[in-house]
Copies of this chain bind each other. A is one copy, B any other.
Amino acid sequence: MHTFSEENYLRAIYRLSLDAKAKISPTSIAEELNNNPASVVDMLKKLTDKKLISYDKKKGAKLTDKGTKTAIEVVRKHRLWEVFLLEKLGYGWEEIHDIAEQLEHIHNDELADRLDKFLGFPDYDPHGDPIPKANGKIATTYKTMLLEVEPGNSCQVAAVKDTSVAFLHYLEKLGVGIGTRIKIVEKIAFDGSMVIQVGKADKINVSKKFGESILVG
């Protein structure tokens, strides 16, 4: 079995690999895990020895098939537990991520599948991210950033790219959740911020960072 730390690295590398193009460097992994590039280099050696990744200074880190399988299993458990925490235990969507970071490391062969069944085979987690299926397949979701929607158009929130408490609390305050309709009123060229309208509420200005953190479908 893999350690918590190894699983966290695999998940980090997996997440980074979704952003495509960008090479997965020690620095980028360190940023993702809030640790030090020197520590990352240590761990990349271990993961390479265990054939969970390949690493090449030029090409960066890449999950092997074995590594991908493990990473997806961890993500699957993470997202299923998030559904459990929200739907069954009644936690708020800003609280669940931290607890799921712990629960994703519980090891038992049948656990993910039993949990999946118990929850009614949910397709998405509470942040709008697709839950990998038992066979490892993940619904490929082609989503656009809120930032890319043209003024005058409306859209519906499909997922959040940031699961920090600060961001989710802010969304809560604005009345924004998965499925919420948002109308883009205007874009401010100066700083990339945008004026939006959530449902029938007053128009508000949100930052570029905000626009990049919401995916719409």
Of B89, B105, B107, which is within 8 A of A118 by CB?
A: B89
Closest Cβ of chain B to A56, distance in Å, is 35
Answer whether residue A99 sits at the interface, using C-beta atoms and an 8 A cutoff: yes
Taken residue by residue from 98 to 126, chain A's Cβ proximity to chain B (1 for < 8 Å, 0 otherwise) reads as: 11001101111011001100100000000
Q: In whole angstroms, what is the CA distance A6 to B99 when docked? A: 20
Of B91, B108, B115, B118, which is within 8 A of A114 by CB?
A: B91
- Count of chain A residues near B, Cβ 8 A: 18
Answer whether residue A137 sits at the interface, using C-beta atoms and an 8 A cutoff: no
Of B98, B110, B118, which is within 8 A of A88 by CB?
A: B118
Answer whether residue A152 sits at the interface, using C-beta atoms and an 8 A cutoff: no
Q: In whole angstroms, what is the CA distance A110 to B92 when docked? A: 12
The complex is assembled from copies of this chain, and their number is 2
In the complex, chain B residues whose CB is within 8 Å of the CB of A90: 114
Of B89, B106, B111, B118, which is within 8 A of A115 by CB?
A: B89
In the complex, chain B residues whose CB is within 8 Å of the CB of A108: 95, 98-99
Q: In whole angstroms, what is the CA distance A103 to B105 when docked? A: 10
Q: In whole angstroms, what is the CA distance A128 to B166 when docked? A: 43
In the complex, chain B residues whose CB is within 8 Å of the CB of A110: 91
Closest Cβ of chain B to A34, distance in Å, is 17
